[in-house]
Structure 1
């Protein structure tokens, strides 16, 4: 739940101070005592407050002064697996002697009377406290705490997970107390609802005097109806982001005799589990003025095809959501209704109208062994697309999950035949699959352009019938597949099979290569390209767990000696670490900007695109640039760096890469 943006708890350093820190790292430091106070504050910013207290509180007078300086703010996090006694002792010291230096509190209070009682010590003297995260707190205790926390001058973020069921009356009291917190910007609540006397949250709609909450981000992790949600957000006119875990139907009639409310700043609205009719969502949208909403996400788990009616969504968006830029719609259909997709084919066709093309929305159909998942989402550039202009107006991306047995093939064939009446399937993504099932599916998709396979088993290839062998030859002659991504490889034969099956392939990517001789692997691939005269293959991307300079030199020597490629150059890319603090800080800043894990990096060179995972890895990218025919790109990644080396070792690594 702790998804509040990380914010530096140390006062922002000036350019002169930052320069001083860099100079400090550039010179040799033989003793920790030689580091400046600013450097220690920067390091402390990445440590838990109780860890800082445990390590530095009893060293000497200088560290005593550092720990009591107003420049240092403590971030306290209670890890459930940590030593309870050590944490309790240090937390008690901080809460008593350094209360005004507490920046954030993250506690697991379930069955912990001591931690629960310390929460009542928090008062206006905690004038730097900006974030509170509480797990496992009882609702009645929470209500009393919230009343007390109205005096906190800088409480911007509050994250609550009760781990218990709350009655609707308790939940109402919680919301009323939350809306009374004067500085709160972000609120997240997770609880279960239990009540045997009422069926709707008894929260009245805010009056003009009550709708003054400063909350901008509201995350509701409990079941809520649109009637209840309408009452809740009537208190939050400044709302910027709204997220619901479950929108349900409580059977109550719409509230008709109320004036619409305006959320002039809301730009993002998402529902993780939508379990009510389209009509009720439409009523809610009509009652709220969303003049700036840009992102709408709905994951529908309600068996009603009107929720997947493209024409009704088009009308709703055009009339009430004029600024909407990104629309995500997911709908699930049980697999046992195998003919419903055919009966509702018109609804799928509607998503290829001019409106959805202008919206740059694309369709994905994901078939599992238990359900079909329809996804309408904004276009985004994927691994198999060289340029953003790749969009095909009537194309469908098909994803097959958990299709392990040949018994699913007849059912898949009926679905695929129907989908082809709606639009062409140009991209196919498959999880683990046998070769028998694989070739039957590929044969159904003559216009397939790109293929992604989690893993491909060739164990049954020795038992292929004559008809199946002839089918493979037929597929090889007629298929249009040019881009292939194999996520996991068991042996070299799997790649060789794909090269034979897809002779028009221009791009091949293998994500994980384990326990395979890399020299032999590259040699076989390049020999097959050379002997089969497959001059269309222009980019190879291999990601392995272990790579070093010697491996790169070995590959270079082999390619030159055996004349596997005539005209090529090798470019070796490796991140250069500057300092411990700078590197870690930059990664965190990048993560905050993207709001995603440290995932993809893209390097574009000479018309080819190489993608690789950059999360704590050293990257070795070998780019082969040929004058006319082949333009392969080989990317080799080494093991994850599990330990952060000292500055001295880092400088040595830069001068002499491992």
Structure 2
């Protein structure tokens, strides 16, 4: 009864189960060279590589050195191509290693310096590939030839088990209309179409649908590639009559996500939806910058008629629309009331029609108000009718419209979003005594884990660092901007000694000085272990970077 179970007592099956919860870098750091038995197990487990933007080059080299004997075990890759201190990580790994058993591949933010030749060669030969995704926020980093080659390689891939493709980068995918088929087992497809017209290319989309014989989950984003044309053209998007007898019918399609940054009308949307009679989920997102738009897009009765006619089996409808207007603001009550049908049809249905710029989901941005005299309390109350504000975890408050004289407005916003853990706030607001010394906000401050201070003429003062720690004791991530490197040094010293749960720190500075950077990895590791001896700190994943403009520390 007194016998203690040790790690060595666990069965191989339990080790296999444990390793399923770790990605490759974590496994190699924690378990390599423990003993012969563990080394033997590591030779037979599937490996999942995850490289995020906050990894460093030293970690990549460590991982690569172990992949020399384990690359054929890799079944999943998720790679941010640009990390904190290096770029072209995809090139490094694919030039050094072959991944013949890869099943899932995700690339994020490919660098302009990345050479994809070896990537293309390997992808072509993968016969176990199930899922491929590329997310490229800046499509310009990939040249047009690489976009074309990658698109063709993936959409003509011969893997018998390929189920999911997501190509999220700006590209004129109209050449796909020349294809006669796509992978026969494809279930999920997401594409981005860069259109040279400011009007939704509805006929091109319908032509593309003819290739989606097996696709059940479809996502299409249409972006506008600016050309020399008059943005003030008539809002009508009429075109030649649609032949509904010649439309493809995709009875297997159950989910459709349409995101458009071009003009359209309800008729165009209806013609596309008509191809999906058994659709159950429809996500519609639309953002228009400068041109005008058909008012029917904000008419709930028009949407009701369209959806009842074209997709009668719909059980979920998400409708996001953002329009930047220079004329008078639409009557929001009329808009909201027209969607009353959806409130009754869908349980917990939320609609957001805001007078400000916002990020939909679990974050809200309270800046760029259209009317400086608007009553914040009324706006928050109005917004609460459509969004459960306690669910908001990210909050950005700018002093562009909320200056120091309106500190009470900020108090109302924070108290309404009382579960915020990620706060982005302007430096003048942050250091204002009306804000930082407000007792009614102390309980909210204590739960905030991430804080980013934005500079507008006023930099974060070094003497304020200790008060920040005292007011925000749960901080794990901090980003600040200071004036000189001298201020940077003194602030970091305070944070290292007083922020117990610190995991990431970035302090940017405008002016360098002759003062040497005292924060070596060894110094930081020893300092943290001295001040917080009970905190686990893995020196192999700790890094410090100073690029002459900012110091970044990852613990």
Same fold (TM over 0.5): yes
User: Does 1:119 pair with 2:84?
Assistant: no
After TM superposition, the structure 1 = structure 2 runs for residues 244-255 of structure 1, keeping only pairs within 5 Å, are: 244-248=220-224
Q: Quick one: which of 28, 40, 64 aligns to 2:4? A: 28
Q: State the shift of 1:291 in Å.
A: 1.3
Cross-structure match for 1:576:
none
State how many pairs are aligned: 400
Q: Partner of 2:105: helix, strand, or coil?
A: strand
Q: Equivalents in 2 of 1:173, 1:167: separation in Å?
A: 10
Cross-structure match for 1:179:
155
Residues 80, 89 of structure 2: 8 Å contact kept: no
Q: Equivalents in 2 of 1:213, 1:130: separation in Å?
A: 17
Q: Equivalents in 2 of 1:172, 1:55: separation in Å?
A: 41
After TM superposition, the structure 1 = structure 2 runs for residues 143-222 of structure 1, keeping only pairs within 5 Å, are: 145-146=119-120, 148-161=122-135, 165=140, 166=142, 171-181=147-157, 182=159, 183-193=161-171, 201-204=174-177, 206-207=179-180, 210-221=181-192
After TM superposition, the structure 1 = structure 2 runs for residues 225-374 of structure 1, keeping only pairs within 5 Å, are: 225-248=201-224, 259-279=246-266, 281-282=268-269, 284-286=271-273, 288-301=275-288, 303-304=292-293, 305-334=295-324, 336-338=326-328, 340-342=329-331, 348-352=336-340, 357-359=344-346, 361=349, 363-368=351-356
1:363-385 Cα deviation digits (max 9, x unpaired)? 444232xx699x9x9xxxx9xxx
Q: Equivalents in 2 of 1:425, 1:64: separation in Å?
A: 57
1:313-346 Cα deviation digits (max 9, x unpaired)? 12210111111122222333446422x525x975
Q: Quick one: which of 57, 82, 85 aligns to 1:84? A: 57
Q: Equivalents in 2 of 1:320, 1:334: separation in Å?
A: 29
Residues 406, 437 of structure 1: 8 Å contact kept: no
Q: Quick one: which of 20, 39, 43 aligns to 1:64? A: 39
* Shift in alpha-carbon separation, 1:133–1:311, aligned structure 2, 3 A: same
Cross-structure match for 1:512:
444
1:463-506 Cα deviation digits (max 9, x unpaired)? xxxxxxxxxxxxxxxxxxxxx875689789859xxxxxxxxxxx
Superposition CA RMSD, Å: 5.3
Q: Equivalents in 1 of 2:252, 2:305: separation in Å?
A: 23
Q: Equivalents in 2 of 1:313, 1:406: separation in Å?
A: 29
Q: State the shift of 1:131 in Å.
A: 1.1
Residues 140, 170 of structure 1: 8 Å contact kept: no
* Shift in alpha-carbon separation, 1:322–1:438, aligned structure 2, 3 A: farther
1:12-38 Cα deviation digits (max 9, x unpaired)? xxxxxxxxxxx9xx9733x43333323
* Shift in alpha-carbon separation, 1:138–1:264, aligned structure 2, 3 A: farther
* Shift in alpha-carbon separation, 1:359–1:152, aligned structure 2, 3 A: same
Q: Equivalents in 2 of 1:217, 1:184: separation in Å?
A: 10
Q: Equivalents in 2 of 1:425, 1:438: separation in Å?
A: 24
User: TM-score if structure 2 supplies the norm length?
Assistant: 0.56
Q: State the shift of 1:408 in Å.
A: 0.9
User: Does 1:455 pair with 2:443?
Assistant: no
Q: Equivalents in 2 of 1:356, 1:36: separation in Å?
A: 54
Q: Which runs of 5+ in 2 are unaligned?
A: 196-200, 230-236, 421-434, 448-471, 475-533, 538-555
Q: Equivalents in 1 of 2:321, 2:297: separation in Å?
A: 8
Q: Partner of 1:155: helix, strand, or coil?
A: coil
1:587-607 Cα deviation digits (max 9, x unpaired)? xxxxxxxxxxxxxxxxxxxxx
After TM superposition, the structure 1 = structure 2 runs for residues 587-598 of structure 1, keeping only pairs within 5 Å, are: none
Cross-structure match for 1:40:
15
* Shift in alpha-carbon separation, 1:265–1:249, aligned structure 2, 3 A: farther
* Shift in alpha-carbon separation, 1:79–1:486, aligned structure 2, 3 A: closer
* Shift in alpha-carbon separation, 1:405–1:336, aligned structure 2, 3 A: closer
User: Does 1:49 pair with 2:37?
Assistant: no
1:497-545 Cα deviation digits (max 9, x unpaired)? xxxxxxxxxxxxx972649xxxxxxxxxxxxxxxxxxxxxxxxxxxx98
* Shift in alpha-carbon separation, 1:287–1:247, aligned structure 2, 3 A: farther
Q: Equivalents in 1 of 2:225, 2:368: separation in Å?
A: 34
Residues 259, 285 of structure 2: 8 Å contact kept: yes
Q: Partner of 2:27: helix, strand, or coil?
A: helix
Larger Rg: 1
Q: Partner of 1:33: helix, strand, or coil?
A: helix
